[in-house]
A = this chain, B = another copy of it.
Amino acid sequence: MRINRKRLEESMEALGRIGETPRGGLTRLALSDEDRHGRDLLVGWMRGAGLQVSVDQMGNIFGLRPGTEALPPVFMGSHADSVPTGGKYDGQLGVLCALEAIRSLDDEGRRTRHPVGMIIFTNEEGARFQPAMVGSGVMAGKIPLEDAYNARDRDGKRLGEELERIGYIGPEPCIPRPMRAYLELHIEQGPILEEEQVPVGVVEGIVAISWSRLTLHGVQDHAGPTPMRMRHDALVAAAEVVSGVREIPRQIRGNMVATVGRLDVTPNIPNAIPGRVTMSIDLRDPDEHNLSRAVGMVDRLVKAEARREGVTYELEHYWRVPRTAFDAEVVNTVERAAKSLGCGHRRILSGAGHDAQYMAAIAPTGMIFVPSRAGRSHCEEELTPMDDVEHGANTLLLAAAELAGA
Protein backbone atom coordinates (compact mmCIF):
# COMPACT_ATOMS: atom_id res chain seq x y z
CA MET A 1 0.00 0.00 0.00
CA ARG A 2 1.45 3.36 -1.09
CA ILE A 3 0.27 6.95 -1.44
CA ASN A 4 -0.38 8.55 -4.84
CA ARG A 5 2.55 10.89 -5.35
CA LYS A 6 1.03 12.76 -8.29
CA ARG A 7 -2.24 13.45 -6.46
CA LEU A 8 -0.35 14.64 -3.37
CA GLU A 9 1.81 16.94 -5.50
CA GLU A 10 -1.29 18.41 -7.18
CA SER A 11 -2.98 19.14 -3.86
CA MET A 12 0.25 20.76 -2.57
CA GLU A 13 0.29 23.02 -5.61
CA ALA A 14 -3.39 23.95 -5.39
CA LEU A 15 -3.33 24.79 -1.68
CA GLY A 16 0.05 26.54 -2.09
CA ARG A 17 -1.52 29.04 -4.44
CA ILE A 18 -3.70 30.47 -1.64
CA GLY A 19 -1.60 33.18 0.00
CA GLU A 20 1.34 32.63 -2.36
CA THR A 21 3.95 35.41 -2.30
CA PRO A 22 5.58 36.86 -5.44
CA ARG A 23 8.78 34.98 -4.57
CA GLY A 24 7.04 31.60 -4.28
CA GLY A 25 6.61 31.56 -0.51
CA LEU A 26 3.44 31.71 1.53
CA THR A 27 1.69 34.31 3.69
CA ARG A 28 -1.44 32.70 5.11
CA LEU A 29 -1.77 34.17 8.60
CA ALA A 30 -4.16 32.51 11.05
CA LEU A 31 -7.81 33.61 10.57
CA SER A 32 -6.99 35.86 7.63
CA ASP A 33 -9.00 35.73 4.40
CA GLU A 34 -6.28 33.50 2.95
CA ASP A 35 -6.65 31.11 5.90
CA ARG A 36 -10.40 30.98 5.24
CA HIS A 37 -9.88 30.22 1.55
CA GLY A 38 -7.35 27.51 2.42
CA ARG A 39 -9.74 25.97 4.95
CA ASP A 40 -12.60 26.06 2.46
CA LEU A 41 -10.52 24.22 -0.13
CA LEU A 42 -9.43 21.59 2.39
CA VAL A 43 -12.95 21.05 3.71
CA GLY A 44 -14.17 20.58 0.13
CA TRP A 45 -11.50 17.94 -0.46
CA MET A 46 -12.30 16.23 2.85
CA ARG A 47 -16.00 16.05 2.00
CA GLY A 48 -15.04 14.82 -1.48
CA ALA A 49 -13.11 11.99 0.18
CA GLY A 50 -16.29 11.01 2.07
CA LEU A 51 -15.07 12.26 5.45
CA GLN A 52 -17.52 13.38 8.09
CA VAL A 53 -16.37 16.98 8.77
CA SER A 54 -16.90 18.93 11.99
CA VAL A 55 -15.46 22.11 13.54
CA ASP A 56 -14.91 22.85 17.23
CA GLN A 57 -15.11 26.11 19.21
CA MET A 58 -11.47 26.88 18.44
CA GLY A 59 -11.92 26.43 14.71
CA ASN A 60 -10.03 23.12 14.69
CA ILE A 61 -11.37 21.08 11.75
CA PHE A 62 -11.93 17.31 12.03
CA GLY A 63 -12.58 14.81 9.25
CA LEU A 64 -13.47 11.20 10.09
CA ARG A 65 -13.44 7.97 8.05
CA PRO A 66 -15.44 5.32 9.94
CA GLY A 67 -13.82 2.15 11.23
CA THR A 68 -15.37 -1.31 11.38
CA GLU A 69 -15.64 -1.18 15.17
CA ALA A 70 -16.75 1.42 17.75
CA LEU A 71 -13.19 2.30 18.81
CA PRO A 72 -11.31 5.58 19.31
CA PRO A 73 -9.91 6.98 16.04
CA VAL A 74 -6.35 7.32 14.84
CA PHE A 75 -5.92 10.99 13.95
CA MET A 76 -3.34 12.50 11.63
CA GLY A 77 -2.96 16.25 11.39
CA SER A 78 -1.08 19.52 11.42
CA HIS A 79 -1.92 23.18 10.71
CA ALA A 80 -2.68 25.27 7.61
CA ASP A 81 -1.62 28.73 8.80
CA SER A 82 1.82 30.16 7.97
CA VAL A 83 4.16 32.87 9.21
CA PRO A 84 4.44 36.04 7.07
CA THR A 85 6.64 35.36 4.01
CA GLY A 86 6.93 31.75 5.13
CA GLY A 87 7.05 28.63 2.97
CA LYS A 88 4.69 26.09 1.44
CA TYR A 89 5.74 23.09 3.55
CA ASP A 90 5.45 24.09 7.20
CA GLY A 91 2.07 22.78 8.39
CA GLN A 92 0.37 22.50 5.02
CA LEU A 93 2.44 19.42 4.13
CA GLY A 94 1.29 17.50 7.23
CA VAL A 95 -2.35 18.29 6.54
CA LEU A 96 -2.10 17.23 2.89
CA CYS A 97 -0.18 14.01 3.69
CA ALA A 98 -2.92 13.13 6.21
CA LEU A 99 -5.56 13.67 3.53
CA GLU A 100 -3.49 11.70 1.01
CA ALA A 101 -3.12 8.80 3.45
CA ILE A 102 -6.90 8.64 3.86
CA ARG A 103 -7.46 8.84 0.09
CA SER A 104 -4.93 6.02 -0.31
CA LEU A 105 -6.81 3.81 2.15
CA ASP A 106 -9.90 4.45 -0.01
CA ASP A 107 -8.01 3.63 -3.23
CA GLU A 108 -7.23 0.23 -1.79
CA GLY A 109 -10.70 -0.18 -0.27
CA ARG A 110 -8.86 -0.84 2.96
CA ARG A 111 -11.06 -1.03 6.04
CA THR A 112 -9.65 -0.36 9.52
CA ARG A 113 -10.94 -1.46 12.95
CA HIS A 114 -10.42 2.05 14.36
CA PRO A 115 -11.78 5.06 12.51
CA VAL A 116 -9.04 7.08 10.78
CA GLY A 117 -9.28 10.86 10.84
CA MET A 118 -7.48 14.12 10.23
CA ILE A 119 -7.26 17.40 12.16
CA ILE A 120 -6.39 20.91 10.97
CA PHE A 121 -5.38 22.95 14.00
CA THR A 122 -6.01 26.71 14.39
CA ASN A 123 -3.15 29.24 14.76
CA GLU A 124 -0.23 26.92 15.27
CA GLU A 125 2.32 29.53 14.25
CA GLY A 126 1.61 32.22 16.81
CA ALA A 127 2.65 34.78 14.21
CA ARG A 128 -0.55 36.80 14.29
CA PHE A 129 -1.90 35.80 17.71
CA GLN A 130 0.27 34.74 20.65
CA PRO A 131 0.95 32.22 21.99
CA ALA A 132 1.52 29.61 19.30
CA MET A 133 -0.22 26.18 19.08
CA VAL A 134 -3.37 27.62 20.52
CA GLY A 135 -5.91 25.25 18.90
CA SER A 136 -4.22 22.16 20.31
CA GLY A 137 -3.39 23.97 23.56
CA VAL A 138 -7.04 24.67 24.28
CA MET A 139 -8.00 21.11 23.28
CA ALA A 140 -5.44 19.70 25.71
CA GLY A 141 -6.75 21.94 28.49
CA LYS A 142 -3.47 23.86 28.71
CA ILE A 143 -4.85 27.21 27.51
CA PRO A 144 -8.27 28.50 28.70
CA LEU A 145 -10.70 29.00 25.81
CA GLU A 146 -11.41 32.57 26.94
CA ASP A 147 -7.70 33.46 26.96
CA ALA A 148 -7.39 32.14 23.41
CA TYR A 149 -10.42 34.12 22.26
CA ASN A 150 -9.02 37.28 23.86
CA ALA A 151 -5.62 37.14 22.14
CA ARG A 152 -5.24 40.24 19.97
CA ASP A 153 -3.27 40.86 16.81
CA ARG A 154 -1.26 44.06 16.17
CA ASP A 155 -4.37 45.86 14.95
CA GLY A 156 -6.19 45.00 18.17
CA LYS A 157 -8.46 42.40 16.55
CA ARG A 158 -9.58 39.57 18.87
CA LEU A 159 -8.93 35.99 17.88
CA GLY A 160 -12.49 35.02 18.80
CA GLU A 161 -14.00 37.65 16.54
CA GLU A 162 -11.70 36.80 13.66
CA LEU A 163 -12.65 33.12 14.02
CA GLU A 164 -16.30 34.11 13.76
CA ARG A 165 -15.63 36.48 10.87
CA ILE A 166 -14.08 33.75 8.71
CA GLY A 167 -16.93 31.36 9.62
CA TYR A 168 -14.86 28.79 11.51
CA ILE A 169 -16.19 29.00 15.05
CA GLY A 170 -17.79 25.54 15.35
CA PRO A 171 -20.37 24.04 17.71
CA GLU A 172 -18.27 21.18 19.11
CA PRO A 173 -16.57 21.69 22.48
CA CYS A 174 -12.81 22.04 22.23
CA ILE A 175 -11.87 19.35 24.75
CA PRO A 176 -9.84 16.13 24.77
CA ARG A 177 -11.56 13.39 22.76
CA PRO A 178 -10.78 9.67 22.81
CA MET A 179 -7.97 8.84 20.37
CA ARG A 180 -6.14 5.64 19.54
CA ALA A 181 -3.19 7.80 18.50
CA TYR A 182 -2.19 11.17 17.04
CA LEU A 183 0.36 11.26 14.23
CA GLU A 184 1.85 14.38 12.67
CA LEU A 185 4.10 14.62 9.63
CA HIS A 186 6.11 17.84 9.49
CA ILE A 187 9.24 19.29 7.93
CA GLU A 188 12.26 19.05 10.21
CA GLN A 189 13.04 22.79 9.97
CA GLY A 190 16.61 21.94 10.93
CA PRO A 191 19.70 20.64 9.10
CA ILE A 192 20.18 17.11 10.47
CA LEU A 193 18.20 14.91 8.04
CA GLU A 194 19.61 16.69 5.00
CA GLU A 195 23.17 16.63 6.32
CA GLU A 196 22.87 12.87 6.95
CA GLN A 197 20.89 12.26 3.74
CA VAL A 198 18.11 10.47 5.62
CA PRO A 199 14.57 11.04 4.28
CA VAL A 200 12.56 10.11 7.40
CA GLY A 201 12.98 11.32 10.98
CA VAL A 202 11.30 9.25 13.67
CA VAL A 203 10.60 11.98 16.22
CA GLU A 204 11.08 10.93 19.83
CA GLY A 205 10.01 14.18 21.42
CA ILE A 206 10.15 17.96 21.47
CA VAL A 207 12.44 20.36 23.31
CA ALA A 208 11.18 22.55 26.13
CA ILE A 209 10.22 26.09 25.07
CA SER A 210 9.94 29.40 26.92
CA TRP A 211 8.54 32.65 25.49
CA SER A 212 9.03 36.01 27.21
CA ARG A 213 7.86 39.52 26.48
CA LEU A 214 10.02 42.50 27.48
CA THR A 215 9.01 46.18 27.45
CA LEU A 216 11.69 48.79 28.12
CA HIS A 217 10.62 52.34 29.03
CA GLY A 218 13.19 55.04 28.30
CA VAL A 219 12.75 58.79 27.94
CA GLN A 220 11.51 59.87 24.49
CA ASP A 221 13.31 63.05 23.47
CA HIS A 222 14.73 64.94 20.49
CA ALA A 223 17.71 63.26 18.87
CA GLY A 224 19.45 66.60 18.23
CA PRO A 225 19.70 68.92 21.21
CA THR A 226 19.55 66.23 23.93
CA PRO A 227 23.14 65.73 25.16
CA MET A 228 24.36 62.12 25.36
CA ARG A 229 24.78 62.46 29.15
CA MET A 230 21.02 63.04 29.61
CA ARG A 231 19.78 60.12 27.54
CA HIS A 232 17.75 57.12 28.64
CA ASP A 233 17.40 55.37 25.30
CA ALA A 234 15.11 52.31 25.32
CA LEU A 235 16.67 51.01 22.09
CA VAL A 236 20.23 51.20 23.42
CA ALA A 237 19.16 49.05 26.39
CA ALA A 238 17.26 46.74 24.03
CA ALA A 239 20.33 46.29 21.82
CA GLU A 240 22.34 45.14 24.83
CA VAL A 241 19.60 42.64 25.69
CA VAL A 242 19.60 41.28 22.10
CA SER A 243 23.37 40.81 22.28
CA GLY A 244 23.12 39.24 25.73
CA VAL A 245 20.39 36.80 24.66
CA ARG A 246 22.60 35.71 21.78
CA GLU A 247 25.35 34.86 24.31
CA ILE A 248 23.19 32.68 26.58
CA PRO A 249 23.49 29.46 24.51
CA ARG A 250 27.28 29.85 24.51
CA GLN A 251 27.19 29.88 28.29
CA ILE A 252 24.65 27.06 28.70
CA ARG A 253 26.33 24.93 25.99
CA GLY A 254 24.65 21.86 24.51
CA ASN A 255 21.78 22.42 22.07
CA MET A 256 20.12 25.49 23.52
CA VAL A 257 18.89 28.14 21.08
CA ALA A 258 17.88 31.71 21.95
CA THR A 259 16.23 34.25 19.65
CA VAL A 260 14.87 37.78 19.71
CA GLY A 261 12.51 37.56 16.73
CA ARG A 262 10.28 40.53 17.32
CA LEU A 263 11.26 44.06 18.30
CA ASP A 264 9.12 47.20 18.06
CA VAL A 265 10.32 50.75 18.70
CA THR A 266 8.19 53.76 19.74
CA PRO A 267 7.88 56.38 18.25
CA ASN A 268 10.22 54.85 15.63
CA ILE A 269 11.31 57.95 13.73
CA PRO A 270 14.86 59.02 12.83
CA ASN A 271 15.00 62.10 15.07
CA ALA A 272 13.49 60.95 18.36
CA ILE A 273 15.32 59.01 21.07
CA PRO A 274 13.29 55.79 21.41
CA GLY A 275 10.95 56.06 24.39
CA ARG A 276 9.76 52.47 24.38
CA VAL A 277 10.86 49.13 22.97
CA THR A 278 8.98 45.83 23.20
CA MET A 279 10.59 42.54 22.23
CA SER A 280 10.12 38.79 22.31
CA ILE A 281 12.62 36.33 23.75
CA ASP A 282 12.38 32.68 22.61
CA LEU A 283 14.47 30.07 24.48
CA ARG A 284 14.57 26.32 23.75
CA ASP A 285 16.51 23.41 25.19
CA PRO A 286 16.13 19.63 25.27
CA ASP A 287 16.80 19.88 29.00
CA GLU A 288 14.25 21.51 31.31
CA HIS A 289 16.92 22.42 33.82
CA ASN A 290 19.00 24.27 31.23
CA LEU A 291 15.92 26.16 30.10
CA SER A 292 15.20 27.31 33.66
CA ARG A 293 18.81 28.45 34.03
CA ALA A 294 18.52 30.43 30.80
CA VAL A 295 15.31 32.13 31.96
CA GLY A 296 17.14 33.18 35.12
CA MET A 297 19.97 34.56 32.99
CA VAL A 298 17.47 36.65 31.01
CA ASP A 299 16.13 38.06 34.29
CA ARG A 300 19.60 39.15 35.39
CA LEU A 301 20.61 40.42 31.94
CA VAL A 302 17.55 42.65 31.58
CA LYS A 303 17.90 44.00 35.10
CA ALA A 304 21.57 44.89 34.57
CA GLU A 305 21.10 46.53 31.15
CA ALA A 306 18.04 48.50 32.26
CA ARG A 307 19.94 49.84 35.24
CA ARG A 308 22.95 50.74 33.11
CA GLU A 309 20.85 52.86 30.71
CA GLY A 310 18.54 54.19 33.43
CA VAL A 311 15.35 52.75 31.93
CA THR A 312 12.49 50.82 33.56
CA TYR A 313 10.98 47.59 32.27
CA GLU A 314 8.39 44.85 32.48
CA LEU A 315 9.51 41.30 31.77
CA GLU A 316 6.92 38.54 31.53
CA HIS A 317 7.69 34.85 30.95
CA TYR A 318 4.23 34.19 29.59
CA TRP A 319 4.42 30.81 27.88
CA ARG A 320 6.26 27.63 28.65
CA VAL A 321 5.94 24.20 27.07
CA PRO A 322 7.71 21.38 28.89
CA ARG A 323 10.05 18.84 27.29
CA THR A 324 7.76 16.32 25.60
CA ALA A 325 8.52 12.63 25.11
CA PHE A 326 6.34 10.91 22.55
CA ASP A 327 4.57 7.57 23.15
CA ALA A 328 6.98 4.61 22.86
CA GLU A 329 4.49 2.38 21.04
CA VAL A 330 3.66 5.07 18.48
CA VAL A 331 7.33 5.96 17.95
CA ASN A 332 8.14 2.27 17.43
CA THR A 333 5.27 1.95 14.96
CA VAL A 334 6.57 4.90 12.94
CA GLU A 335 10.03 3.37 12.96
CA ARG A 336 8.72 0.00 11.77
CA ALA A 337 6.80 1.73 8.96
CA ALA A 338 9.91 3.58 7.74
CA LYS A 339 11.94 0.38 7.98
CA SER A 340 9.40 -1.61 5.95
CA LEU A 341 9.68 1.00 3.18
CA GLY A 342 13.41 0.41 3.02
CA CYS A 343 14.13 4.12 3.12
CA GLY A 344 16.72 5.68 5.41
CA HIS A 345 15.48 6.84 8.80
CA ARG A 346 16.80 7.95 12.15
CA ARG A 347 15.46 8.94 15.55
CA ILE A 348 15.45 12.71 16.10
CA LEU A 349 14.34 15.36 18.58
CA SER A 350 12.26 18.34 17.43
CA GLY A 351 13.59 21.82 18.09
CA ALA A 352 10.30 23.41 17.03
CA GLY A 353 7.02 23.30 18.89
CA HIS A 354 4.17 21.44 17.20
CA ASP A 355 0.54 20.71 17.93
CA ALA A 356 1.79 17.17 18.67
CA GLN A 357 3.38 18.62 21.80
CA TYR A 358 -0.02 19.39 23.33
CA MET A 359 -1.65 16.28 21.84
CA ALA A 360 0.94 14.15 23.64
CA ALA A 361 -0.75 15.15 26.90
CA ILE A 362 -4.09 13.62 25.87
CA ALA A 363 -3.26 10.86 23.34
CA PRO A 364 -0.47 8.45 22.39
CA THR A 365 1.44 10.67 19.99
CA GLY A 366 4.25 10.50 17.46
CA MET A 367 5.70 12.55 14.61
CA ILE A 368 7.42 11.99 11.29
CA PHE A 369 9.98 14.50 10.00
CA VAL A 370 11.04 15.03 6.40
CA PRO A 371 14.19 17.00 5.47
CA SER A 372 14.36 20.79 5.05
CA ARG A 373 16.71 22.04 2.34
CA ALA A 374 19.63 23.79 4.03
CA GLY A 375 17.69 23.33 7.26
CA ARG A 376 15.64 26.39 6.40
CA SER A 377 12.02 27.15 7.26
CA HIS A 378 9.82 30.11 8.20
CA CYS A 379 11.08 31.64 4.98
CA GLU A 380 10.15 31.63 1.31
CA GLU A 381 13.06 29.33 0.45
CA GLU A 382 11.53 26.44 2.45
CA LEU A 383 11.74 23.21 0.39
CA THR A 384 11.51 19.44 0.82
CA PRO A 385 12.37 17.33 -2.25
CA MET A 386 9.35 15.36 -3.52
CA ASP A 387 11.16 12.01 -3.10
CA ASP A 388 11.51 12.74 0.61
CA VAL A 389 7.89 13.89 0.84
CA GLU A 390 6.82 10.57 -0.68
CA HIS A 391 8.85 8.53 1.82
CA GLY A 392 7.43 10.54 4.69
CA ALA A 393 3.83 10.26 3.45
CA ASN A 394 4.15 6.51 3.00
CA THR A 395 5.56 6.20 6.51
CA LEU A 396 2.56 8.14 7.79
CA LEU A 397 0.13 5.94 5.82
CA LEU A 398 1.64 2.65 7.02
CA ALA A 399 1.97 3.76 10.65
CA ALA A 400 -1.62 5.04 10.75
CA ALA A 401 -2.91 1.86 9.11
CA GLU A 402 -1.08 -0.33 11.61
CA LEU A 403 -2.30 1.71 14.60
CA ALA A 404 -5.88 1.62 13.22
CA GLY A 405 -5.76 -2.16 12.73
CA ALA A 406 -5.87 -2.31 8.96
Contact = CB atoms under 8 A, between A and B. Distances in A.
A177 interface: no
A317 to B, nearest CB: 13
Nearest to A274: B261
Interface stretch (A53-61, A338-346, A376-384, A386-394): A376-384
B225 A352 contact: yes
Interface in A284-332: 284
B269 A377 contact: no
A375 B83 CA distance: 43
A335 interface: no
Contact of A125 (B132, B263, B271): B271
Contact of A246 (B224, B236, B242): B236
Oligomer: number of copies: 2
A375 B221 contact: yes
Given A190-B226, A270-B130, A221 B265 contact: no
Nearest to A265: B263
Contact of A235 (B130, B222, B258, B260): B260
A38 interface: no
B282 A223 contact: yes
A275 B190 CA distance: 16
A16 B263 CA distance: 32
Interface in A212-244: 219-228, 230, 233, 235-236, 238-240, 242-243
A242 B350 CA distance: 34
B270 A84 contact: no
A257 interface: yes
A351 interface: yes
B126 A270 contact: yes
A235 B242 contact: yes
A224 B352 contact: yes
A200 interface: no
A37 B369 CA distance: 59
B226 A269 contact: no
Contact of A378 (B250, B272, B351): B272
Contacts of A284: 223-224
A259 B223 contact: yes
Contact of A190 (B209, B225, B236): B225
A353 interface: yes
A270 B211 contact: yes
A267 B284 CA distance: 20
A98 interface: no
A198 interface: no
Given A126-B269, A235-B261, 18 more contacts: A83-B272, A84-B267, A84-B269, A90-B222, A190-B222, A190-B225, A209-B224, A223-B257, A223-B259, A223-B282, A224-B351, A225-B350, A225-B377, A227-B257, A239-B246, A262-B269, A263-B274, A272-B378
30 contacts: A83-B267, A83-B271, A85-B267, A125-B269, A132-B271, A188-B225, A189-B224, A190-B222, A190-B224, A190-B227, A191-B230, A221-B375, A221-B377, A221-B379, A222-B378, A223-B259, A223-B378, A225-B350, A225-B351, A225-B352, A226-B257, A228-B249, A233-B246, A236-B242, A238-B242, A239-B246, A261-B268, A262-B265, A271-B282, A271-B378
